[in-house]
Amino acid sequence: MLDFFRSGKVLKRSSVSGIALVLALASPAMPEGRVSYNLYGSPGLVDMPTANESPDATLTTTISKVGDAQRTTIGFQITPRLSGAFRYSGLSNYTSPASVKGVYYDRSFDLRYNLLTETASRPAVTIGLQDFIGTGLYGGEYVVATKSFAKGITVTGGVGWGRLGSHGAIGKTGTRTAELLGQGGIPTYDRWFRGDFAPFGGVSWAVNDRMTVKAEYSSDNYTTERKDAQFNGTSPWNFGLDYTFKSGTQLSLYHAYGNQFGAQVTFATDLRSAKIPGGLEKAPVPVLVRPVGAAKDLGWTQEAGKRDATFQALKAGLANEGLVLEGLDLKAQRAVVRIRNPRYGNEAEAIGRTARAMTRAMPASVETFVIVPTVNGSAMSGVELQRTDIERLEHVEAKAILQKTVVRDAFKLAPPVEKGIYPKFTWSLAPYTKLSVFDPNSPVRADFGARLKADFWVAPNLRLSGSITKKVGGNLDKSNRNDKSNLPRVRTDYAKYSIQGDPAIERLTMSAYGRPGPNLYSRFTVGYLEEMYGGVSTELLWKRVNSPLALGVELNYVKQRDFDQMFGFRNYETFTGHASAYYAFGNGFHGQVDVGQYLAGDVGATLSLDREFANGWRVGAYATFTDASFEDFGEGSFDKGIRIAIPMQWVLGTASRQRNTVQIQSLTRDGGARLSVNDRLYEQVRDYHQPELDKQWGKFWR
């Protein structure tokens, strides 16, 4: 299920086409250079690929239609040479028993790798796997070369297998079955680069910096569509026209296969570049430089009430920056402050603004500033700076002050919370939308309504939290799938929750957070943990502030909630939990391995890899393999998906810690299902540790 209006939380489902709308509304930065995308959403001509690669970190969303085929593809340039894509297709007028009301729906994944980059003397060369995890409908492999010449002319030639070797074959490498995989989701490695192979190629001409015309010879015979649909193409020649707008959006028109017409739109996004650098937040206060010799004046240490006056002055200064001062330990030459950052998604910006404010509030003799950011009442790290360095380096690049900064473990470092700040109550009323996609009977289903949410902080690290939803409309309750499985129905009864849960107590929990020891962080949550389960969830995380490695363990005992999502429970209960390892590889890449028992009692592991950018954008993928067989799991064979985190500062145009994560995965299944509990520790802890602070430090002076 997708819940787009829940800020900062993982969204369980989304319409693939909806992502295109989000990207278009966000209007992110245009990528460097210009690449044409084909009907499969990959760098290409019309149907055929080219060896060109998108600029590093480019996210693309392509919606295309040619004849009876409609395809929506999300692609990402994972590294400068490696790219991947997910595609959801609908084929109309399809006579196969697998079709629904004459439409066959298909999901597929692609990978491609640039073997050689183009130089003056050689072409670019790329090898690709098309639909390497799926039913095999679009399965094909290729090796392609592309070379640019003068006057905007680019020539492409390649050899393809599978679909791309079905017309004009010139040879054969082994045998290849053409059978479609009924459940899909299994890597088709036994077919790669096997069977007939055929040449393809084409040419494109950049008429100007906006328009490109292209022609290609296709090696795809559309064999399946000729047999099971109404495709009757008469020619292997395809022709296209691209127009690229200033925003980077590409609009394309095609005449294909002699009698087919098509069109597509592609949104291209450079995730490394912020739409509005620095956001629209007001400028920070300037650093107040001390007069010469003022640092030697210690007379203030004898003044009664000086500490309280300093606290109030700094509290007001930080409130003006959208930050909360919760504690202060003031000595003659050292000050330790405890802060909470509800505003800035870039944590280094919060640290920098706190340091600036401290230069204006602290007595002149205080030379060492220690800033302790807290999340859910737990101290994340201690960031130590020297006041002299802050004064001297304000107008120098941020990396200069980074070299002078020390980040240490904050265990027992944070000063006590000032009286009067807690208890604290907050609430909100907002719309919500829940989507479910990829059900062949109805590819997109949705519920929408209102959510009332409240939090009562009894103490800095003790919170009572709850949310209630009231559905206004939707059709999630219309799902009538009755998939056969030997697994307990731990997730596939979601339609019954939609039918009976109106209104619904979505969550009702008590959570406690702590620092049980050096480099250790803890969470304890009890109550109605999510819309389907209630119980107890505990977590312990180990992480050094300067290490890319973190280790954690989570244990849960839960019972399945009644379908009306009130206070009752059903008779299914289980222990579930995982041991986890997290690692920051550099260049924004974060890996995670979770090993343990899932909600249905199946045992296995989840592998995740995400690439995150300093501006808050994140793109990742995951796959879960358990001892549940592919047959027990059902369509899709095993749990896997793609997730895209969209920082709300792109939408709001100002600083915000909120972001929404759109998660695209196969149909909801019972295998590999995890508990959806709020505030898992790793995400909140690593943000204030190295190397994350180092990556974001460029905004220290913002």
Indicate the domain borders of the chain.
35-270, 294-420, 424-459+461-682
pLDDT of residue 443: 61
Least trusted range by pLDDT, from 367-376, 424-433, 643-652: 643-652
One DSSP character per residue, 531-543 reads SSEEEEEEEEEEE
The DSSP output letter for 629 is -
Burial zone of 395 (CB within 10 Å; 0-12 exposed, 13-18 middle, 19+ buried): exposed
pLDDT of residue 396: 93
pLDDT of residue 691: 86
Alpha carbon 646 to chain centroid, angstroms: 7
pLDDT of residue 28: 52
In three-state secondary structure terms, 598 is coil
pLDDT of residue 310: 96
More confident residue, 313 or 178: 313
pLDDT of residue 99: 76
Share of the chain above pLDDT 90, in %: 67
Q: How far apart are CA 332 and CA 530, in angstroms?
A: 49
What number is the average pLDDT over the span 204-216? 95
Interval 398-451: pLDDT, tens: 999 999 999 999 999 999 999 999 999 999 999 887 766 655 555 667 778 899
Q: Cβ of 547: how many Cβ atoms within 10 Å? A: 14
pLDDT of residue 22: 52
State pTM to two decimals: 0.89
pLDDT of residue 60: 92
pLDDT range class, residue 676, cuts 50, 70, 90: very high
Fold for the domain defined by 294-420: GMP Synthetase; Chain A, domain 3 (3.30.300)
Q: Cβ of 614: how many Cβ atoms within 10 Å? A: 17
The residue among 431, 362, 376, 456 whose CA lies nearest residue 683 is 376
Q: Between the ranges 89-98, 286-295, 637-646, where is the mean pLDDT highest?
A: 286-295
Least trusted range by pLDDT, from 157-166, 272-281, 442-451: 272-281
pLDDT range class, residue 631, cuts 50, 70, 90: confident
| Cα–Cα distances in angstroms (integers) from residue 495 to residues 101, 105, 266, 435, 477, in the given order | 22, 21, 34, 12, 5
Host H or E run for residue 21? helix 16-26
Mean pLDDT value across the chain? 88
More confident residue, 13 or 74: 74
Host H or E run for residue 508? strand 504-514
Residue 304, C-beta contacts closer than 8 angstroms, at least 6 positions apart = none
Helix runs in 75-129, H state only: none
Q: How far apart are CA 689 and CA 383, in angstroms?
A: 9
- pLDDT greater than 50 at residue 14: no
- pLDDT greater than 70 at residue 227: yes
More confident residue, 387 or 1: 387
To 10 degrees, what angle do helices 347-361 and 306-320 make? 140
Q: How far apart are CA 51 and CA 115, in angstroms?
A: 9
| Cα–Cα distances in angstroms (integers) from residue 22 to residues 19, 58, 86, 276, in the given order | 5, 15, 17, 17
pLDDT of residue 15: 44
CA 580-582-588 angle, 5° bins: 155
pLDDT of residue 4: 34
| CB distance 531 to 494 below 8 Å | no
More confident residue, 76 or 185: 76
pLDDT of residue 102: 81
The DSSP output letter for 312 is H
pLDDT of residue 447: 79
pLDDT range class, residue 2, cuts 50, 70, 90: very low
Interval 583-610: pLDDT, tens: 999 889 999 999 999 999 999 999 999 9
CA 425-428-431 angle, 5° bins: 165
pLDDT range class, residue 11, cuts 50, 70, 90: very low
Token pair in block for residue 279: 């956001």
pLDDT of residue 666: 64
pLDDT of residue 184: 59
Least trusted range by pLDDT, from 150-159, 186-195, 541-550, 630-639: 630-639
- pLDDT greater than 50 at residue 495: yes
Burial zone of 138 (CB within 10 Å; 0-12 exposed, 13-18 middle, 19+ buried): buried
Least trusted range by pLDDT, from 13-22, 247-256, 453-462, 689-698: 13-22
Interval 561-588: pLDDT, tens: 999 999 999 999 999 999 999 999 988 9
In three-state secondary structure terms, 509 is strand
Helix runs in 378-455, H state only: 387-393, 398-402
Alpha carbon 624 to chain centroid, angstroms: 17
| CB distance 134 to 106 below 8 Å | yes
What number is the average pLDDT over the span 83-106? 85
Among 2.40.160, 3.40.50, 1.25.40, 1.10.10, what is the CATH number of 424-459+461-682?
Answer: 2.40.160
The residue among 582, 573, 544, 568 whose CA lies nearest residue 688 is 544
The alpha carbon dihedral of 629, 633, 634, 640 has a sign of negative
Interval 191-202: pLDDT, tens: 999 999 999 999
What number is the average pLDDT over the span 60-77? 93
pLDDT of residue 482: 55
What number is the average pLDDT over the span 613-642? 83
pLDDT of residue 170: 97
In three-state secondary structure terms, 24 is helix
The alpha carbon dihedral of 687, 693, 698, 699 has a sign of positive
- pLDDT greater than 90 at residue 105: no
| CB distance 130 to 161 below 8 Å | no
- pLDDT greater than 90 at residue 240: yes
Among 2.10.60.10, 2.40.160.40, 3.10.450.50, 3.40.50.300, what is the CATH number of 35-270?
Answer: 2.40.160.40
pLDDT of residue 188: 80
pLDDT of residue 541: 98
What number is the average pLDDT over the span 490-506? 88
Least trusted range by pLDDT, from 337-346, 613-622, 644-653: 644-653
The DSSP output letter for 179 is P
Task: Decide the pairing of beta strands 10-11 and 659-665.
Answer: parallel
Q: Cβ of 49: how many Cβ atoms within 10 Å? A: 26
- pLDDT greater than 90 at residue 153: yes
Fold match flag (35-270 vs 294-420): no
What number is the average pLDDT over the span 8-15? 36
Q: How far apart are CA 98 and CA 87, in angstroms?
A: 18
pLDDT of residue 514: 97
pLDDT of residue 667: 67
| CB distance 193 to 157 below 8 Å | no
Q: Between the ranges 18-22, 341-345, 628-632, where is the mean pLDDT highest?
A: 341-345
